[in-house]
Amino acid sequence: MKTENKKIKKKSGKTLQTAREASYFAKKMLKNALQAQEEGRPIGWSMVTWWQGELIARAIGAELVFPENYGAFCAATGGAEKHLEISDSEGYPATLCGYARNSIGYAKLLSDNNFVPYEGAPGGGLAKPKFFLASGTACDARYKWFQALKRYFTEAPVWTVDLPMPGTKEFFYKGNKELGLKYIVDHLKDYVAFLENLLGTKLDYDRLNEIVDQTFKTLALAHEVDILRRAVPSPMVGSDFWSIMIPHLYLPEDPEAYEFYKKVYAEVKQRVDNKIGAIPNEKYRLMFAELPPWHSLGFFGELAEKFGMAIVIESWNYHAILPIPEEEFEGVTDPLEKVAMLTYYKWTEYNKVALEYNVDPGFFMAAYFQFAKDYKTDGLLAHPLMSCRPATYTLLHTKNTLENKLKIPGVVIDGDIIDLRVFNEKEAFSKMEAFVETMDHYREERKKAGIAW
C-alpha cells in the first residue's frame, strides 16, 4: 500500500513573466487537436522525436498532441493520480514510465467514454488519435507504450521513427555521419509514404521547407536565450525554462513560438544588462539532470529562498540545438535531409566534449561537462526516477566523473516525474541542506586545482 502524499499548493518558482505566459502553447496544442476532431481532421499522438517526425506530420496537415507533455501537465495540475490508479488496475507496474502510465489511464477513460474526453480532464483532454508517432530514441517505452495503447485504439497504426545513435568514438569514424544521415533520409521517405497512404493526401514539400526554415529560426533564438543565461547572477532559472521550453520543443514551426521567444530574449537580456538575478540571493549555481518532478516544481523555489540555490541550466535534451555550421548545408535542398541533419546533430552535438572527457554515452553525459564551464556551476542536482531507466542510468557516473575531473560535486534526490507518492520532500531538503557544505568545500578544491570558477 502506497503512502499518502497529498500535494500542498506552492509557488511555481517562475521568475519571468514570459514563463508565466508559456502555458498558452500547451493549451493551444490540446485545443487545436480537439477542434480538429470536431472538424474530422487527422490527429496524431506523438513522442518528442526532436523534430524528426513532427515537422513532416504537421506539413501534411496532421494536428499533434504529446502524451509526454500531457503527463507533465497532468502532474503539475494534480490530475495525474487518477490516471496512474487506472493504469495500475490495468495490470501495468508502478515502475513503468510515469508518462506511459498517465496516458494509459487516460486512454482507458477516453475509450470507456466513447472517445470523448471525460468531464474535468486536465486541459480539456487529448483528442482521439488517427495514428501514433513513436520514437526509437532514448528508451524502449517510447514505442512500446504506443503499441500497448492499441488495445484502446485498435484502428490507429503506430509508426516508429528511428535514429542512429553512435558511441562517442564510433561517431568519429570516417563516413559514419554520411551513412547515418542517409539512413535517416531513407527512413523518412518511408515515413512520408506511410502518412500519405494513411491520410490520403500528398506531402507538400514546399510547405515542409517553410516549416523547417521557421523551426531553425526559432531554435536559433532559443539558443541565444541559453547563451544569455550564462551571466552571473543567473537571469532565469529552471522553473522558468521548464515552461518556456514548450514552444521550441513542441511547436518550433509556429510563428507564434518565434514571436514568443523574442519576448523571452528581451526579458532575459534586460536582466543581464542590469545585472538582475532571477533570485535575489544567488549563492550556489546548480545544473539539473535529467527530468524534473513536475508535481513539485515549487521545491526549487524553496531551495532558492532557503539556500540561495539557482538552477542555472537543465537537462541537455530539452534545449535548442547548438548552431549547425553553415557549410554543412552547402548543396542541401531536400527538406527531408535538413530534418535528418537537425535531429542527428542534436543527438551528437556534444560528442567532441564526450571524447575530451572520455565519457559514453555522449548524449546523456557530455553536455554537463560543457555546462559546468559555461555556466560556472557549483554542483549537480541529479534526480533519478523510479520509472525512467534512460534518465537515470548515467546519473551516478556523470556525478562521479564531474567530481573527479572538474571538482564539481553532485547530490542525488530520488523521485519521479509523475508519481508524487514517491517523492520525500523532507528528506530531499535535508540532503540539499547538507549539500551546501559540500559545495563550499569543492569551491576551495577548484581554487587549489586552478579551475577558473
Residue 430 class from Cβ within 10 Å (0-12 exposed, 13-18 middle, 19+ buried)? exposed
Residue 206 CA to residue 39 CA, distance in Å, equals 25
pLDDT of residue 141: 86
Where are the alpha helices (H) located in 113-204, listed in sequence order? 141-149, 176-199
Residues 83 and 80: their CA atoms lie apart, in Å, by 5
Confidence of residue 13 (pLDDT cuts 50, 70, 90): confident
Minimum mean pLDDT range among 230-234, 294-298, 385-389, 448-452: 385-389
Distance CA 92, CA 87 (A): 6
Looking at residue 11, its pLDDT comes to 65
Q: Comparing C-alpha atoms, which of 404, 422, 292 is closest to residue 5?
A: 422
Q: For position 3, what pLDDT does the model report?
A: 43
pLDDT at 297: 94
Quote the cell numbers at residue 345. 546533430
Residue 189, Ramachandran bin (φ over 0: left; ψ between -120 and 50: alpha; else beta):
alpha
pLDDT tens string 270-286: 999 999 999 999 999 99
CB 185 within 8 A of CB 163: no
| 186-203 residue pLDDT tens | 999 999 999 999 999 999
- Whole-prediction pTM: 0.95
Q: Are strands 284-289 and 131-135 parallel, antiparallel or unpaired?
A: unpaired
Over the stretch 62-108, which tens digit does the pLDDT of each residue have? 999 999 999 999 999 999 999 999 999 999 999 999 999 999 999 99
Average of per-residue pLDDT values in the chain: 95
- Structure confidence by residue, pLDDT tens digits, 327-366: 999 999 999 999 999 999 999 999 999 999 999 999 999 9
Residue 379, strand partner residues? 286
- Residue 412, SS3 per DSSP: strand
128 vs 208: CA distance, rounded Å: 25
- Is 283 within 8 Å of 222 (Cβ atoms)? no
- Scanning the structure block, which residue is given the C-alpha cell 499548493? 9
Q: Taking 70 as the threshold, does the pLDDT of residue 439 lie above it?
A: yes
User: Which three-class secondary structure state does DSSP give residue 252?
Assistant: coil
Closest C-alpha to 6, from 384, 343, 321, 420: 420
Beta bridge partners of 287: 313, 380
Number of alpha carbons in the 13 Å side-chain half-sphere of residue 244: 33
225 vs 419: which has the higher pLDDT: 225
Residue 115 backbone class (left: φ over 0; alpha: ψ -120 to 50; beta: rest): left
- Rounded Cα distance between 417 and 176, Å, is 35
Q: State residue 1's pLDDT score.
A: 36
